[in-house]
Structure 1
Amino acid sequence: APNNAVVFLSRLVKEGVDPNHRHRLGWTALMVAAMNRQHSVVKVLLEAGADPNAGDHFNNVYDTSREKGIHSLEVLVSREDEFSHRLSSRAGFRGCTALHYATLADDPRTVRMLLEAGANPLQTNALGHTARSYAKEGEVGTVLQEWEGKGFIRMDMSEFQEKHEVAKFIGSPPGYVGHEEGGQLTKLLKACPNAVVLFDEVDKAHPDVLTIMLQLFDEGRLTDGKGKTIECKDAIFIMTSNVASDEIAQHGLQLREEAEEVSRRKLADNLDDVQKSDDIKISRQFKESVIRPILKAHFRRDEFLGRINEIVYFLPFCHSELLQLVSKELNFWAKKAKQRHDITLKWDRPVLDLLAGGYNMHYGARSIKHEVERRVVNQLAAAYEQELLPKGCTLRLSVQSGGREERSVPSLRLEVVGEDSSSRTLDIRPPLSPEH
């Protein structure tokens, strides 16, 4: 391979020589070709079935010398003459793939060839480094970064609700419009056969899509509209669904209330600890007697449900988790206020509790995001619009009691904090004030 003997290599391949055969010190011919920028050799080896994700068994000269029982000088000479003289004899290369070596060689053409052949840009060597860890600034780093993003595929299954839309999934058959374009899923899987694929809201897909997914889950391959087969046995498929979400939410709340009651009987000091979702387990009886019949009634395909390895249930958030979500959302806006307007935003625990009360279990974390925007961000925007915020000021969010009336609702108050720690409530005029 180092001598670019393409004709000789092609003959060996035709004679049945294994393209993944390893050198006595642990590397493969594809790694050598990638390190030495031998594009023609890389092409021949990949077409012959060379594995672009095979890892090097060679570590460094001295470790390999001890492992193989060979004199270190002999190992050094072999590594330099038969692999490359440009690599350090002391550096560790165990687990490096052809993609790692093409990156070390700073060869964008070979990097692209390997990626198109299914090389995994996220695969790490024994040191825990991906190929991009060794990339210099320039084209190779940019290519790897682009391909790393291809490792995750999201398919919105609400786009495939009608029978005629199924063609968009794998491509139109010959003679139909869009045949040459191919399918959305098949094109993405062809570019990255070992991707993580998310089928979002799979319950909205047409039944014909489920038939296609059966082949995908069962055989690990997919045939597109052109009749070409895409092998994707290393891909991971995840599906989300809102089927039975109300039943799961109600059951989760019931389980959490039961856990809290048990803790009260034991005189638990901190109920937050028992509220965590990790401590709440859905019973097997509930899964079999409630959830499975609902899934069967909706999908109407026992064989489809049988292909699912694991089902993960999402329960409503408990109070301690809601406080974390509110804190995360407030920190996001506080960072923006500081960066854009040099405004420091502060708050205390009662603010978190009040905003957490806006949680709606039917809308999930999205309801917390909307509550923060409605009660906090809108107030900030209104105060800024009315020129009530001094440049570089510190703002404090606090909870204001609604008064003595039984049904009075607490509101959020926005205060400007002075250098002497004194505070002044902002008088935001309606209708811009969201609390009125």
Structure 2
Amino acid sequence: MGSNVVILSNFLAAVGIDLSPSLCSSITSPETFLTACKLGVTSEVARLLKLGAKVDSRHELGWSALHVAAVNKRSEVVKILLEAGADPNILDQFSTATLKSREKQLNALHVLLAREEEFSDRLSNRANFQNCTPLHYAVLINDMDCVKLLLEAGADPTIENSLGHRAGEYARDESTKSLIDTYTQIFVERKKALEAEERRKFPLELRLKERIIGQEAAINTVAAAVRRKENGWYDEDHPLVFLFLGSSGIGKTELAKQVSNYLHKDKKEGFIRIDMSEYQEKHEVAKFIGSPPGYVGHDEGGQLTKALTKCPNAVVLFDEVDKAHPDVLTIMLQLFDEGRLTDGKGKTVDCKDAMFIMTSNLASEEIAHHAIQLRQDASKMTAMRGATNIGDLEQAEKVTISRKFKDQVVRPILKFKFRRDEFLGRINEIVYFLPFSQSELAKLVIKELEFWAKRAQSKHDIELIWDHQVVDTLAEGFDTHYGARSIKYEVERRVVTQLAMAHERQLIEKGSKIRIIVSNRNDLLASSKQSKNSTSSESKKISSASEEIETGATIKLQVMASGSKKYKDLEFDLTSNPFSMPSV
């Protein structure tokens, strides 16, 4: 290995670069490999790869071997790297010398010199290069050979850098631009075909149901509308508009987020959330679309128009739309009707391809009561038929809001609030979110317990288990006013609090196995009264507590220490552990 270092050192010295063995701990270090790529020494690059150099090695400042080869017009090296499996779409993590020096806590001048000496001195030292691909650099440097190699290897010409520019936007001659345009069209068509095939194999309904518990009817309604849009069966002159109705905490916002994740992947700009409770006054319309000329804040732009300018096809969530001022609703009507919006500066933002989702708690109590009544009626019918299998029982929990209820109960409430038929007329789908059924509540509890079990295992090396009685008991803590959040709070209050207390008192340790069980509360009171550590005053407190609290199920913990085969109860008296019991 030492002779290899000397060989490369002699070579680099011959071309004016001093690289002694003391500066390089290994011949296959990233610095050595990147230097060979920059200089275009194909034999060295190939040999270093055989010796174990990583093909996607990065410089400590962020660029990769393929970046440095492309920007220095080393087409032969680019070819070797691609054949060795280099990612043609790898993103440069270098931004600017100033930003990178702050991030790495280095001297800005040293970073700038390193960029020029070890990457390229032909680029602007003021430009931001973050998220540039090798194709960006090949186009910037105007190297047609590298451009062809990268495109043929699968480089994606639609990738945008941090400034929002594709590689083709930097093309200086028509031949390069034409080549990239051709591959862009091919890539887009191929991507559409792959996405269509993926949608057939894994429909949107299934994707959403993996992330959202319950609300099957709401999911199916939204997925059907998205499918029409994706396949070109929709009105291209108007955006899709939804109104989500239902109680708090039952999945309205979460469904909007998941639709955005599906349509825009990890693109943050693809989801715009606007809290309409901030637009209750007439003058706050200016915050929405921007102030007109001559008014304070004119240069800042509006919250909505600014966000839509960045991503015209975003999923826009208008949260609690019923709280907005009527003048704001007028602006929204223009948006829904024309698919465009004029901001305070007079600039028109086209957003016909966007998706608008409004949420509201209007008629939530009526919807909840109607759904519960439908479920009760369905359960009675199921019982009369003598059905006992799980499938029939779950089917009884699935109910559909009737057309009569929508027209005679919900629509008058909406009309009274919004006072405009044309506003309601521009809504493509009114989506109803129903209260959780018993089986759905159980799934929510299990999801929350699994979250804490994973946390206990990863952070404390403790295994957490439970049975169906625990799930049923915790599900009783559901509060229709808080929705799924009430289950989260119930698990934290009755289970996690005990875990934290046991951890603080060193009653559990790494490698332990904890079993969550349900115990009758009267048994716990009796056990606490008989505790040797209980004083007479504590007994009085417990006696008083027993008179105030109804008899019911109590959550308890049992621990099996590492190496043991028996569970042991973790005892807490009521005064120090009131949280194991349901709230009253």
| TM norm. shorter chain > 0.5 | yes
What residue in structure 1 maps to residue 506 of structure 2?
387
What residue in structure 1 maps to residue 420 of structure 2?
301
CA contact (8 A) 2:465 2:514 kept: yes
SS of the residue aligned with 1:264?
helix
CA contact (8 A) 2:139 2:147 kept: no
1:317 corresponds, among 423, 436, 439, to 436
Matched, 1:127 2:191: no
What residue in structure 2 maps to residue 73 of structure 1?
none
How far the C-alpha of 1:86 sits from its partner, in A, is: 2.0
- Which runs of structure 2 are paired with 1:324-363 in the superposition (5 Å)? 324-363=443-482
More helix by share: 2
What residue in structure 2 maps to residue 366 of structure 1?
485
- Which runs of structure 2 are paired with 1:88-99 in the superposition (5 Å)? none
How far the C-alpha of 1:88 sits from its partner, in A, is: 6.8
Go from structure 1 to structure 2 and tell me whether the alpha carbon gap of 1:408 and 1:36 turns closer, same or farther (over 3 Å shift).
closer
Q: Deviations over 1:101-132 (max 9, x none)?
A: 1539x897733997xxxx9xx99442339xxx
What residue in structure 1 maps to residue 148 of structure 2?
85
Letter in 2 for 1:417: M
What residue in structure 2 maps to residue 167 of structure 1?
286
Letter in 2 for 1:193: P
Percent of aligned pairs with the same amino acid: 54
What residue in structure 1 maps to residue 159 of structure 2?
103
What residue in structure 2 maps to residue 411 of structure 1?
554
Counterpart-to-counterpart distance in 1, 2:336 and 2:438:
38
How far the C-alpha of 1:367 sits from its partner, in A, is: 1.0
For structure 1, which runs of at least 5 residues remain unmatched after alignment?
Answer: 1-33, 42-80, 130-144
Matched, 1:256 2:375: yes
What residue in structure 2 maps to residue 428 of structure 1?
572
What residue in structure 1 maps to residue 385 of structure 2?
266
Q: Deviations over 1:58-116 (max 9, x none)?
A: xxxxxxxxxxxxxxxxxxxxxxx999632576x7x8xx9xxx31539x897733997xx
Letter in 2 for 1:85: K
How far the C-alpha of 1:298 sits from its partner, in A, is: 1.0
SS of the residue aligned with 2:374?
helix
* Structure label with greater radius of gyration: 2
Letter in 2 for 1:126: A
Calculate the TM-score normalised by the size of structure 2: 0.53
Letter in 2 for 1:394: K
SS of the residue aligned with 1:371?
helix
Go from structure 1 to structure 2 and tell me whether the alpha carbon gap of 1:165 and 1:37 turns closer, same or farther (over 3 Å shift).
farther
Letter in 2 for 1:127: L
What residue in structure 2 maps to residue 30 of structure 1?
none
Counterpart-to-counterpart distance in 2, 1:229 and 1:277:
50
Go from structure 1 to structure 2 and tell me whether the alpha carbon gap of 1:101 and 1:208 turns closer, same or farther (over 3 Å shift).
same
CA contact (8 A) 1:272 1:319 kept: no
What residue in structure 2 maps to residue 24 of structure 1?
none
- Which runs of structure 2 are paired with 1:190-205 in the superposition (5 Å)? 190-205=309-324
Counterpart-to-counterpart distance in 2, 1:162 and 1:112:
45
CA contact (8 A) 1:246 1:362 kept: no
For structure 2, which runs of at least 5 residues remain unmatched after alignment?
Answer: 1-134, 170-183, 197-263, 524-545
Go from structure 1 to structure 2 and tell me whether the alpha carbon gap of 1:407 and 1:150 turns closer, same or farther (over 3 Å shift).
same
Counterpart-to-counterpart distance in 2, 1:273 and 1:421:
41
SS of the residue aligned with 2:159?
helix
CA contact (8 A) 1:382 1:428 kept: no
Go from structure 1 to structure 2 and tell me whether the alpha carbon gap of 1:109 and 1:172 turns closer, same or farther (over 3 Å shift).
closer
How far the C-alpha of 1:277 sits from its partner, in A, is: 8.5
Q: Deviations over 1:205-236 (max 9, x none)?
A: 11111000001100100111111100001000
CA contact (8 A) 2:159 2:167 kept: no
Counterpart-to-counterpart distance in 2, 1:380 and 1:82:
63
How far the C-alpha of 1:148 sits from its partner, in A, is: 1.2
Go from structure 1 to structure 2 and tell me whether the alpha carbon gap of 1:83 and 1:385 turns closer, same or farther (over 3 Å shift).
closer
Go from structure 1 to structure 2 and tell me whether the alpha carbon gap of 1:245 and 1:336 turns closer, same or farther (over 3 Å shift).
same
Letter in 1 for 2:424: L
Counterpart-to-counterpart distance in 1, 2:320 and 2:354:
19
How far the C-alpha of 1:272 sits from its partner, in A, is: 6.5
Matched, 1:288 2:407: yes
SS of the residue aligned with 2:369?
helix
SS of the residue aligned with 1:126?
helix
Go from structure 1 to structure 2 and tell me whether the alpha carbon gap of 1:323 and 1:109 turns closer, same or farther (over 3 Å shift).
closer
SS of the residue aligned with 2:349?
strand
What residue in structure 1 maps to residue 218 of structure 2?
none
Q: Deviations over 1:222-278 (max 9, x none)?
A: 111111100001000011100000000000000000111111111111367444688
CA-based RMSD = 3.5
Q: Deviations over 1:20-75 (max 9, x none)?
A: xxxxxxxxxxxxxx989667x9xxxxxxxxxxxxxxxxxxxxxxxxxxxxxxxxxx
Counterpart-to-counterpart distance in 2, 1:201 and 1:109:
32
How far the C-alpha of 1:377 sits from its partner, in A, is: 1.1
How far the C-alpha of 1:420 sits from its partner, in A, is: 4.6
SS of the residue aligned with 2:451?
helix
Counterpart-to-counterpart distance in 1, 2:332 and 2:168:
29
Q: Which moved more, 1:239-248 or 1:362-371?
A: 362-371
Go from structure 1 to structure 2 and tell me whether the alpha carbon gap of 1:250 and 1:113 turns closer, same or farther (over 3 Å shift).
farther
What residue in structure 1 maps to residue 347 of structure 2?
228
How far the C-alpha of 1:179 sits from its partner, in A, is: 0.8
Go from structure 1 to structure 2 and tell me whether the alpha carbon gap of 1:239 and 1:113 turns closer, same or farther (over 3 Å shift).
farther
Q: Deviations over 1:280-317 (max 9, x none)?
A: 11100000000000011111111111110001101110
CA contact (8 A) 1:186 1:222 kept: yes
Counterpart-to-counterpart distance in 2, 1:147 and 1:282:
34
CA contact (8 A) 2:320 2:359 kept: yes
- Which runs of structure 2 are paired with 1:67-86 in the superposition (5 Å)? 85-86=148-149
